[in-house]
Every structure is written in structure tokens, then in C-alpha cells.
Amino acid sequence: MSFSIAVSGKGGTGKTTMSSLIIRWFVKSGITPVLAVDADPNSNLHMNLGLSYDRTIAGIRENIEEKDVPEGMTKVAYVGLKMEEALIESADIDLLVMGRPEGQGCYCAANHLLKEYLSKLSSRYKYTVMDNEAGMEHLSRRTTDEIDVLLIVAEPTMVSIRSAINVKATAEQIKLKIKKKYLVINKLDESRTESIDKLTGEIEKSGLTLIQKIPADDALIKASEEGKNLLSITDDSPSVKAVNSMMKEVIGK
């Protein structure tokens, strides 16, 4: 059974970067293949992983019609076939891009089929990492039924922390099956001790567990400026060190 890690957070907090560094940890640790799911409509996880894609799940969903299903094949089998075609495979990472939200009309039946197939797909991998948009509702209708670990990424500001708390509340409100929820503070400047103390108090009141503080890292900025994928970031990078330490706790290694 696949161990699933979902990464969420307000736009701009660095959740895609976080997802990429988590996947980097799996690759560098030799725990592969890992399934990467880009569930953000603004799909850019592939760039951080040095991959490219030409098909999305949204595209498949919007083009599924009964008349397209070949004679003698069930709709479930046809969706599965099209999903396999959308899967980008590489030596260590397999990538599935969800794409932009559906347009007008009801896609309930197609969404149900896709969710069912994604559950089967993820079962072929020991670990699945999902880079999500800020909201949580799409997790319940597009991806696996259960999430082992939800990492909510926030910047070291009160607004961002409260947004992370809202993500936690939404996940609980729609009754997602999540075994563990953690907060990750990203882009942290350790010199701002007074601000950090205020944030800590807010976090403690929320009931969220702070699992890691990721320092601001010039190596990430430089890689972005040069268009390099994040798998190439060196092990001495402060953010890489912090994520590597966090991952040992996340999966108990």
C-alpha cells in the first residue's frame, strides 16, 4: 500500500518547492520509483523535477464521452487506458499532472472514475507525493481516499500561519481521512526571533504540530534564476538539510 504525502499551502509559500525537495530526498535515498502528482492548476512541479508533459488528467476528463469508448471496453477500462497514457515515466520519478479545473457542466461520474483509478495507480508505488492547490476539497474528489501525512506550508507571517490553520480546519470540516497533519514554516529568517515567538504562540493555540522550520536559501533562488531543476541542489544547501531531517521523521526512518 502506498504511503501518501500531500503538500498544501497558500499561494507563494513554496509548497511546490517543498514537494520537489521531498521528492529529491526519495531519489537521493534510493527509494524509487516515487509517484509525483501535480494537483495544482498552475502546474510547474515538472520544471523543478526536470521533466515535461503533454497530457493532463483534466484534459482526459473533459474529453471522455460515451461514444469514445471502444466497443467491447468498459468506461472504467477506457479511463484507465487514457490515464496510463498521461503518466510520465522516468528512471526514478513518475509524474501525473492533474491540469486546470473542469469547465462548465457536471463531471461527477468522470471524477469518480478518476479517483478510483488514481487509488489503483498509487498502490503500485511505495510512496506518493502530491503538490496541491491551496484548497482541500479537490483532494477528496480527485486523489486517493486516504492521506498518510499532510504538510501545510506557511511563510513566517501571521497571515500565512492563519491561512495554514484554515487549511487544517477545512480538511477536518470535509472529513478527509488524514492520519497526520503537520505545519512547515518556510523561508525563515532565524534572526527575527521576536516575530517567531509570536507565531509559535498562534501555532500552539491552533493544535497544529510544527514539524520543521525551513531556512531561507539562496541556493533555491539561484536555481530558479538559472532555470535548473531542484534535484541538482547540493546536499549542503540549508533547505535541503532541513527537508532531509524532516523526512526522516515523516516516514519514520
Confidence of residue 202 (pLDDT cuts 50, 70, 90): confident
Judge if pTM exceeds 0.95.
Answer: no
Expressed as residue numbers, the domain containing 144 is: 3-250
pLDDT value at residue 70? 85
Specify the number of domains making up the chain: 1
CATH number at 71 reads 3.40.50.300
Dihedral pair phi/psi, residue 107, rounded to 5°? -120, 25
pLDDT digits (tens, 9 = 90+) for 83-131: 888 899 999 999 988 876 555 544 455 556 567 777 788 889 999 999 9
pLDDT value at residue 194? 60
Average pLDDT, the chain: 84
pLDDT at 142 over 50: no
Dihedral pair phi/psi, residue 238, rounded to 5°? -55, -40
Q: Which three cell numbers stand for residue 64?
A: 471522455
Distance of alpha carbon 232 from alpha carbon 84, whole angstroms: 28
User: Who's near 145: CB < 8 A, 6+ residues apart?
Assistant: 115, 119, 177
Q: Return the percentage of the chain with pLDDT > 90, whole number.
A: 43
3-class secondary structure, 4: strand
Confidence of residue 137 (pLDDT cuts 50, 70, 90): low
pLDDT at 69 over 90: no
In the chain the first and final C-alpha atoms are separated, in Å, by 18
Confidence of residue 170 (pLDDT cuts 50, 70, 90): confident
Contact 151, 5 (CB under 8 A): yes
Residue 39's CB: how many other CB atoms inside 10 A?
23
Dihedral pair phi/psi, residue 96, rounded to 5°? -125, 125
Higher per-residue pLDDT: 218 or 173: 218
User: Who's near 13: CB < 8 A, 6+ residues apart?
Assistant: 153, 154, 155, 160, 186, 187
The DSSP string of 179-221 is EEEEEEEEEE-TT-HHHHHHHHHHHHHHT-EEEEEEEP-HHHH
- Alpha carbons within 13 angstroms on the beta-carbon side of residue 133 total 18
